[in-house]
Chains A and B, each alone.
Chain A
Amino acid sequence: MANPAARRQKIAPYVFIAPFFVLFLVFGLYPIGYSIWSSFFSMKLIGNAAPEFVGFRNYVNVLTVDPFFYQALLNTVILLFTGSLLQHFIALPLAILVNGRFVRGRELFKTAYFLPYITSTVSVVVIFGTLFDTNYGLVNWLIGLFSDGEKIRWLQEAPGIKAVLSVILNWKFVGFNMVVYLAGLQAIPTELYEAAEVDGATKLRQHLSITLPLLLPVIFFAVSLSIIGGMQIFEEPYILTGGYDNMGGDANSGLTAAYYLMFTAFKAYRLGKGSAIAWILFLVIIALNAVNRRVTRHLENR
């Protein structure tokens, strides 16, 4: 042990893994702990006032008197279904299609569908905002070719805002999910399909009886990610509806839980309440994922 070389060798592994733990401590664990702590205080983002301990008041306030929290949560859940979960019905068939034996340029499709995912959210939302503009937008122009009705005010009216947000979310993340499913599909042995074909099963039957059951763990993984991401949607509605001053546009239609959290902490400067919202949101996400887990288990055991 006195041998310095041996000692160095003993320390070396810790040094090698240290960067992660140091970074996680500073940028992960500490902020998480700090936000728990601050959620029990009345805390202003700026100014000299010392934080005042208020116990569970922030939580009670958010869950009882706050006029926006439930609306924001409802908006988020609606968008979760129409935006983040709907795309799985597109992503999976798409993955099967791209995975087809006779598809040429598979890599090209993979890249093309993946591209929206790595494109900057701000530019995506700005472009979609232009496409859906009432007077100058391409979408209303297209609709105008087939109908003479009143122009749809996509970005000014509550249902329109949700519709546009759903389109953006589907478009942006469908490629990511497709790539996840593609990886899952490639892990399914081809013999199974060959055997099914010999037995005379149609393509649809093959996918229902082989692909879906075998892909269940992958679906669970992808849906979990969608729930986690979908419940925290912020940039898209924030940019589309014009920032904090508008709080999600008409009837707060685009006000998601994360958007309201950010508004509370960084526009209304109430850090304590903002932290409380964050933790409530965290619990909601955990609960939704538990539901997802149960549903998946149930399907697996069938």
Chain B
Amino acid sequence: MKRLYSFLVLALVAITLLPAQAFDPAKKYEVTFGGYGDLEKAYAEVFKSADFKAKYPNITVKFQTADFGGHHTRLTTILAAGEQTNDIEALEVGFIAQFVEAGGLTDLNAAPFKAGVFTKDIVKFAVANATTDSGSLIAMPVDIAPAVLFYREDLAKKAGVKMDALKNWDEYIAALKKLSVGGVYGIEHPSAVQAIPLNGGKGGWFSGGKPLEPKAKFVDALKLVEKVKAAKVDGDLGAWSGPWSQAYLDGKVATAVNGAWFGGTLRTWLSPEPGKWRVAYLPGKIMASLGGTYLSIPQTVPAPRKAAAWEVIKYLTTSPNAQLISFRAIDAFPALTTVYKDPVMDEPVAFYGGQKVRKIFADVALNIPENKVSEYDNLILGIWNGAVTSVVNGKATPEAAYADALKKIRATIE
């Protein structure tokens, strides 16, 4: 019996000491990585690079990749069951909120990771999104999505409109009216603009503990949707549907309001022919964020594996080499601000007819305001989308849709 006790005590001591276990450069590690979309494509290239191999010859990375929805469903289910995840799990910003206050992911600000020294060069709003009220950092931002206006230069020229210095949304809608001729749609759908006044709608739903505050911000977003709808400049195309991609492929969509990553979507399959598209600031130079990826280490990962996982995360998020490789491979815009000064940011990009678009992305990235995420974000987003749809369908005025959404949100989160 005594033996058993001493064994238990020893085991306990070992367990409590484990978190302090450091990364051992002499040991071989295989780090598993759960990702979505084309992250694997970018990071596989990073891990093949000479720089990574020189720094971490003892680390190999094994991917488990799924589609966007599947990845996040798998991750939440495994975490809910308290089972073993991959050592590193990618999270899209829309999902980060769930974990920020609920827990389940390792605090990277705590020892032995001490991410604080590394996050000072990462865009502030992205770090803030992943930081809890008590100051824990639950994931490292790896890429962000500064929102910009993509537009077809050839169509703009034909219509005689200038898209690169729109002062406000009214000017934008006026331009869309001129662009929407001969079967061309100014914009895919009226709801495509709704998230911009809300800084992307990933977080920012509460102010002073009250949902949908300040009211004017949310009503204005709905009014904007109403205006775009009333201008009859949209193609009524649901994003990612077959008709939606076909309309882009047929060159029938003149502008798109989206994050920098959308450039990758255009380039690789929606409109691969170079030279047609340009990038501009959003009307009135609004700064907003539309997406972003975070890398986390779930709490269930054993300590020695955590150490190696952290080295990989650190490399992906804080080495210019990794950030630039990902940017080139999949247009994932760097969260690391030091690379914004890299000469590559000043290069003309052939796809955009030689325009130096990366400077715009970088400028927006540095000026995106902070959004406070909450555990109710997913729920609110579902209700909010309903409000947007009812405005698009002319079933409710922006005021009425706002009031209805607020009522539903209050009733649901109480």
Contact = CB atoms under 8 A, between A and B. Distances in A.
A249 B389 contact: yes
A129 interface: yes
B242 A133 contact: yes
A267 B242 contact: no
Contact of B99 (A47, A134, A135, A136): A47
B369 interface: no
A155 B242 CA distance: 13
Interface in A234-271: 242-247, 249-252, 263, 266-269, 271
Nearest to A271: B80
B400 to A, nearest CB: 13
Interface string B79-95: 11000000000000000
B378 A269 contact: yes
A48 interface: yes
A270 to B, nearest CB: 8
Interface of A is mostly: loop
Interface string B362-399: 00000000000001101101110110011011010000
Interface in A207-254: 242-247, 249-252
Which residue of B69, B101, B375, B392 has the most chain A CB atoms within 10 A of its CB atom?
Answer: B375
A253 B398 CA distance: 20
A247 B235 contact: no
A171 interface: no
B65 interface: no
Given A156-B236, A244-B378, A67 B411 contact: yes
Given A47-B98, A269-B76, 14 more contacts: A46-B76, A47-B99, A47-B101, A47-B103, A49-B103, A134-B236, A135-B235, A136-B243, A245-B381, A247-B382, A249-B389, A250-B390, A251-B389, A267-B379
20 contacts: A44-B102, A45-B76, A46-B76, A47-B102, A48-B299, A65-B414, A66-B411, A68-B408, A133-B243, A135-B243, A136-B242, A155-B238, A156-B236, A156-B392, A245-B382, A250-B389, A251-B390, A267-B379, A269-B98, A271-B80
Interface of B: 69, 73, 76, 79-80, 98-99, 101-104, 235-238, 241-243, 246, 299, 375-376, 378-379, 381-383, 385-386, 389-390, 392-393, 395, 407-408, 411-412, 414
* 4 nearest A-B pairs in the assembled complex, by CB-CB distance: A47-B102, A48-B103, A67-B408, A268-B379
Interface of A: 44-49, 61, 65-68, 129-130, 133-136, 153, 155-157, 242-247, 249-252, 263, 266-269, 271
